[in-house]
Structure 1
Amino acid sequence: MNSLLTGLNKEQQQAVQHTEGPLLILAGAGSGKTKVLTVRIAHLLAQGVNPYEILAITFTNKAAKEMKSRVEGLVGDVANRIWLSTFHSFCAKFLRFELNNFLGYNSNFTIYDTSDSQAVIKAALKALNLDDKYYPVGAMIAAISDEKNKLLFASDFRKQARDFYQQKVADVYEYYERELRKNNALDFDDLLLVAVKLLQS
């Protein structure tokens, strides 16, 4: 165990060895946060924690790969059994396990990329007889994404729509949401939104 702590300062050692309750670490770039996290994972494993009980989440694929590589360097192949991924990757995996008739979705859902979403929005504008000069596809996608990141489904957004434009955005959002559910499809924002709603329920 002492060899794991080599090269860490006092505060970093305390963070690695803290196991009871939450711990918040505030540190700037280049201060060793990733090193502390990887050593902390190795410490938890050394304490007998099952690798499946460890979840480490990062924002980017690059950061996730780097962390996994560092953990593998410390603990070997057991690193493959740790939940170590980006937020979106974790949520997708979680939903594959747990999404069973929640909100009309099931676990063999498709993930729509930007071009898939654009096609649905274009169809929505046409079906709703809305001019894409006034309701550009990109602006509609951005507006819907903003609402999903606030954890609002289309019906929630409609209740808050304050003016004519927002009512039309709500129409587009409802169409978009309906089409995705009909096709058992989630977009990238849905991965987070639906995972959070499922956990809350």
Structure 2
Amino acid sequence: MNLLVDFLCRFSFGLAVGLCITPAALVPSGFFRVNTLVLLGLTTFAALLSSTLGLNANTWLLSIAALVSWVGSVLWYADRRRPGLVCCGGAALLCAAATALTGEFAAAQVGVRILSGCLIGFTVNAMLLGHWYLNAPGMRVDVLRRSIDQTLFAWGLLFFLVVAMIIWQFGNIEDSSDSLSSTFFRAVTAATSGANGGLDATGVA
């Protein structure tokens, strides 16, 4: 359940940031309205799960993010672009705080969660933007290209950070009795989840 909350927080953050960096002057407001409603659903679900798990700080942050997303959808429906973008930015900040609180509060792990959230959100944002050309065939193609470039940039940053963390963790593992593959797996686990162990420590198993 914690993994699902973590994923929803990352997804919500990335989608909100993706909306913030999508050029509102070139994309119809309907695109933003629909995606702020998607953001409303994600943050509401995450808030309910956080409440079930007793994550009080996350519950409040995500509940406020859901409210801000709803206000943003109303503003986008009224074609109030600047206030709508402000709401997207506010939701992104709230979801970023919730994302940081869902796991180990170390700079590297928080960075991985934030960047992975950007990768998820940017990817979905680019996909939805591509589909929006069916509604607005006259929209400029370079908007989609820019969104894809942003996704690839986030992927590159995340890849670099994860590889650097794996190398660092690999050098810090002191138990030399493990096989190379086991040591490498422990390094990957520690780098990506902050847990120094196997699947049991990550909460996957």
- Give yes or no for TM over 0.5: no
Higher relative contact order (CA 8 A, sep 6+): 2
Scaled by the length of structure 2, what TM-score is found? Answer: 0.28
Higher normalized helix content (fraction of residues) = 2
Q: Going by fraction, where is strand more abundant, 1 or 2?
A: 1
